[in-house]
Amino acid sequence: GAGVSQSPSNKVTEKGKDVELRCDPISGHTALYWYRQSLGQGLEFLIYFQGNSAPDKSGLPSDRFSAERTGGSVSTLTIQRTQQEDSAVYLCASSPSSGQGNQPQHFGDGTRLSIL
């Protein structure tokens, strides 16, 4: 079946602009995660959605970052007033989430964001 789909695959934008990154999880997966992969910081957790519960936003690096998940499916990560340090690969993952700690997360190919 289809995996996690992310768009765009690449995004180049000027400093100060807003960007929106999209994630379409695997159908039926209730848990959705955003991570960031950058050279200096490795793989960092950003935000977690589980069903209809309030999201865990504890990994968002600043208030310029926000995310929403509509209808329990598609998610959008928005970065406002982008800065050069926002340049990274943004990864989305989803899982069935059994609540027992044994469900692997399935990753999309990521969006490579470059801030000029």
Partner 1 sequence: GNSVTQMEGPVTLSEEAFLTINCTYTATGYPSLFWYVQYPGEGLQLLLKATKADDKGSNKGFEATYRKETTSFHLEKGSVQVSDSAVYFCALSLNDYKLSFGAGTTVTVRA
The binding site for partner 1 (CB under 8 A) comprises 31, 33, 35, 42-43, 45, 48, 56, 59, 91, 93, 95, 97-110
Rounded CA-CA distance 3/20 in Å is 20
CB of 1 to partner 1, least distance (A): 16
The residue (of 12 and 43) whose beta carbon lies closer to partner 1 is 43
Sheet-wide strand order for 5-7: 5-7, 19-24, 75-79, 65-69
HSE-up (13 A, CA, CB side) for residue 45: 12
CB of 67 to partner 1, least distance (A): 14
Rounded CA-CA distance 105/43 in Å is 14
Rounded CA-CA distance 2/92 in Å is 14
The residue (of 6 and 82) whose beta carbon lies closer to partner 1 is 6
The residue (of 80 and 105) whose beta carbon lies closer to partner 1 is 105
CB of 92 to partner 1, least distance (A): 10
